[in-house]
A and B are shown apart, each in its own frame.
Chain A
Amino acid sequence: MNDAAAGTECIEENQILRRTAPGSFEENDGLFVALTDEDREYGRRLVEACTESRIPARELSPQEALRLEPGLNPELLWALQVPDATFDAMRLPLRWFATAKRNGAAIRPFTEVMDVISADHCVTGVVVRDHTTGHESRIGADIVVNATGPWSESIATMAGVDVPIQPSPGVLLALRGRLCNMVVNRCHPSGDGDILVPQRALTIVGTSSWLVDHPDDLGVPEDHVAAMYREGAKLVPAVNGAEQRAAWSAARPLIGSRGASSGRELSRTFQCFDHATSEGVEGFVTISGGKATTARAMAEKTADVVCGKLGVDRPCRTRDTVLLPHTAYYVN
């Protein structure tokens, strides 16, 4: 709710994605569920925030909420229905990649950036190693875009610039069984185990949040796993006792000062950095922050910055271009 900008981004992208990737979404909506008086008070402010962000929302009595989601904690006080949806986090990007390939992009998987080539405060390309062959080569570029998520800082360092990225991992659980059909959120400030997302025959419970200097070797702290069960069961009691299919950690690339005490205080919005403006290094742009829902908007913003630098004046097409099926990534 402190993130009205992120909320507006999300609802706009929600509409664009449904238009450009038809058939890729479970459009089952989401619920914010109040379990305490504090949650209920937060809910009043959430309704105002939804209005401000132009997110259509419907207030529900406990009985109405339980009719929608019979697995909810029957002690709930109130719920808010919002137009949420879920998507397959592998196959939506594959649709983007397939469509990009069809439009001339060359995608080089299993290829690692070993260095950024620069001279006289100007980036001119990258050195890459193709791990399928072991062959190392140089790729020249008018502009290099650093879109490496929580690893943004590592690549930026190669270019001699800085990005204010704070990797913030969280633990997630995948439980066997589809314990809800809507995305179920606790109606309170972002906290541990306060969202349940149905995915195929699984229910994903997320997430904790801590800060690290490096996004690798995160581990899965047992107390975080316990917190996911404990807090998730407050929303949907069947979480308790559900069989664990997987528990894992992943790092979000949050934008913010490295002096932050927790990932919760950092915005989920995104930012594009032109390092010519900020540090006098030409030819190098970083996009970071954000999340999967806003990935397309992040690309649009980055393309706008790159086009501005190259003197190209063209409208964005990804708002309206209907994507190829994900299988087109593998089959030409």
Chain B
Amino acid sequence: MTEQATTDQRSAGQAQPGAGTRTVTFHVSRSKRGEDPHRQSFEVPVEARTTVLDAMISIRRHQDPTLTLRHSCFHASCGTCAMRINGREGLACVTNVEELGGDTVTVDPIANAGAVISDLVSDMSAMFGHYAPMERPLVRPSELGPGSRPAEGVAELERFEDCIECGICVSVCPISATDARYLGPAALAAAWRVVVDPRTADAERAMALADVDHGIWRCHTAFECTEACPSNVDPAGAIMNLRRAATRRRLRGLLGGSRSER
């Protein structure tokens, strides 16, 4: 990658630089449709609260409006700002620059989710192409303990699914890096959620989608996905659970029982 450099005098997230700021150089991956990527350097004043997302927005606002990135919620809930920061996948909105240490930070788009459209933006259609057919519900019942009952007046305590569809698990996965047909940890974790809690989705169908050569059997149990997940989803654990369920399902099939029994 070649490098270019520009400088800004404003602290990221602030109208003017103030006390407690220092300058950090961000080496940011740049590429527009079809171009080979190169890194461009930007000097950004940062302070104690500055996140990598703050810094990227500051660059776009004050140095280069053509820098493209995805972001929305600013609190690790939407999953859109996943990037590779100093070579490791993370959500830019909750990656504090000071906690990274050092005077330079590299920022690259996540890998394996789809082709890079522009700068830090990947086309997520490849990942969602594997993921969408699982039809994982957005909201699930909370994990009430055995025998617990929802409080009076509340029909059923519910919570959003933990997976925020950021693509980090796919980006770190060594199999997704080499096999575009591999369903990947996000889709397989979604399949497991449907299998254990089908509600509106079809558990048998999700199981059948996952129980293929390029599904649960392609995983090499590197567990990178579980290690990197910012929402503690444990995709690797889900894949292992699916393998056990698939094995039972196959055995039942051989013995003449119903495959739909879990």
Contact = CB atoms under 8 A, between A and B. Distances in A.
B159 A90 contact: no
A200 B162 contact: yes
Given A181-B154, A201-B232, A325-B132, A89 B65 contact: no
Contacts, number: 138
A110 B70 CA distance: 9
A189 B43 CA distance: 44
Interface residues of B, number: 55
B68 A110 contact: yes
A110 B118 contact: yes
Q: Which of B66, B80, B132, B151 has the largest count of A CB atoms less than 10 A from its CB?
A: B151
A246 B154 contact: no
A110 B132 contact: no
A247 B47 CA distance: 14
Nearest to A200: B160
A28 B49 contact: no
Contacts of B135: 325
A29 B153 contact: yes
Contacts of A159: none
B138 A132 contact: no
B228 to A, nearest CB: 17
Q: Which of A88, A178, A330 has the largest count of B CB atoms less than 10 A from its CB?
A: A330
A247 B49 contact: yes
B238 to A, nearest CB: 17
A204 interface: yes
A89 B124 CA distance: 19
9 contacts: A25-B139, A131-B68, A132-B121, A181-B157, A182-B154, A200-B162, A217-B14, A246-B94, A327-B128
B153 A81 contact: yes
A66 to B, nearest CB: 10
Interface string A83-125: 0001011110000000000000000001010000000000000
Interface string B46-75: 000101000000100100011110001111
A145 interface: no
B113 to A, nearest CB: 10
Nearest to B53: A248
B13 A90 contact: no
A58 interface: yes
A174 B118 contact: no
B77 A90 contact: yes
Contacts of B159: 26, 178, 181, 198, 200-201
Contacts of A235: none
Interface string A127-151: 0000111100000000000000000
Interface of A: 23-29, 58, 64, 67-69, 81, 86, 88-91, 110, 112, 131-134, 172, 174, 178, 181-182, 198-202, 204, 216-220, 245-248, 250, 325-328, 330-331
B33 interface: yes
A331 B74 contact: no
Contacts of B10: 217
A327 B132 contact: yes
Contact of A201 (B79, B131, B138, B231): B231
Nearest to B114: A330
A24 B118 CA distance: 30
B153 A23 contact: no
Given A200-B159, A327-B131, A245 B75 contact: yes
B239 to A, nearest CB: 20
B7 interface: no
**8 cross-chain pairs, A with B, having the tightest CB-CB distances, nearest first:** A174-B75, A90-B78, A330-B128, A248-B74, A327-B132, A132-B118, A246-B75, A217-B15
Contacts of B76: 174, 202, 245-246
A23 B161 CA distance: 11
A204 B158 contact: no
